[in-house]
């Protein structure tokens, strides 16, 4: 097994501020999101990943300390899976608490750097479609159901949908 690539500097920011303030990097404005259309937006974003993963050398890092397109796509796939679990728990339970997720440890342990872009493409599209279908099926009366991140941040189904969408849109911007 090849050696692991140079480590990525962990992102320790609390990105929940994007729910209240436009993202100065990618331009995402959570307040402009029609939550009823989040499923469509996730599917559209996933389609852009299918294109960039088919591009030239998607597994090459642009710099040693920046993820490749394939590594970002692995992360986005896992974000879709994680948010699907969290939204399901919010719909099925009263006030669930979510376990912490160390995205950087996951990248290393899962060897994102060795992932096959074609496999990741298929898995990302499937994960995006599954979570998009979940959002499509959320009744308006359930948008205020709550859940809590391990750091204490409170979300509603509405706010977690906006937060989730920013995460994937931002990473599409990262690989533009």
Quick one: residue 14, left, alpha or beta (phi over 0 = left, psi -120 to 50 = alpha)?
A: beta
pLDDT (0 to 100) of residue 11: 66
pLDDT (0 to 100) of residue 15: 80
**What average pLDDT does the chain have?**
93
β-bridge partners, 156: 146
| 158: helix, strand or coil | helix
pLDDT (0 to 100) of residue 174: 95
Q: How confident is the model at residue 4 (pLDDT cuts 50, 70, 90)?
A: low
Q: pLDDT digit string (tens) for 52-94?
A: 999 999 999 999 889 999 999 999 999 999 999 999 999 999 9
Cα–Cα dist 166/174, whole Å? 12
pLDDT of residue 125 exceeding 90, the answer is: yes
- Please report the domains of the chain, with CATH numbers, ordered by start residue: 34-174 (1.20.120.450)
């Amino acid at each position: 097994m090849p050696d692991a690539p140079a480590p990525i500097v962990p992102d320790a920011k609390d990105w929940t501020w994007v729910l209240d303030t436009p993202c100065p990097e990618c331009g995402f404005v959570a307040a402009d999101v029609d939550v009823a259309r989040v499923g469509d937006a996730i599917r559209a974003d996933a389609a852009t990943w299918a294109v960039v993963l088919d591009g030239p050398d998607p597994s090459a890092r642009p710099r040693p300390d920046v993820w490749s397109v394939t590594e970002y796509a692995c992360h986005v796939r896992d974000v879709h899976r994680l948010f699907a679990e969290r939204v399901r728990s919010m719909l099925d339970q009263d006030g669930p608490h979510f376990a912490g997720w160390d995205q950087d440890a996951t990248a290393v342990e899962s060897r994102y750097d060795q992932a096959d872009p074609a496999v990741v493409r298929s898995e990302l599209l499937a994960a995006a479609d599954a979570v998009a279908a979940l959002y499509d099926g959320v009744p308006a009366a359930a948008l205020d159901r709550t859940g809590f991140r391990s750091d204490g941040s409170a979300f509603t189904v509405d706010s977690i949908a906006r937060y989730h969408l920013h995460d994937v849109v931002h990473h599409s911007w990262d690989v533009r």
